[in-house]
Amino acid sequence: IPESTKNLRACLRCHIIKTHEQFIQEGCSNCVFFDAETNAREREVIVDKYTTASFKGVVAMITPGNGWVSRWQEIPGKYQPGAYALSVR
């Protein structure tokens, strides 16, 4: 879940929303961008490449796979709970 409403970004693959700093520190909860060995500068470049600040709408998924949000948005059951963008550019 985003820690702030500033500097929000959405993953281009799965649409999960986090702050820029959260993506750099933790990566994406659903997609593998980098591993523990990736240095800070590389992480920033990777996050900028695979996430976007240009997205519309936010929906929260609490129950993966079973809730109406995950069915309505067709979010796979393997995705982590969190805030998701309805559409990204």
**Which of the pair, 70 or 7, is modelled with greater confidence?**
7
> What residue type is 26 in one-letter code?
E
Instruction: Give the pTM.
Output: 0.84
Give strand pairing partners of 16: 84
pLDDT of residue 1: 67
User: Higher confidence at residue 12 or residue 61?
Assistant: 12
Q: How far is CA 63 from CA 23, 68, 71, in A?
A: 22, 9, 10
CA angle 23, 36, 29 (to 5 degrees): 40
- Residue 4: how many CB atoms within 10 A of its CB? 11
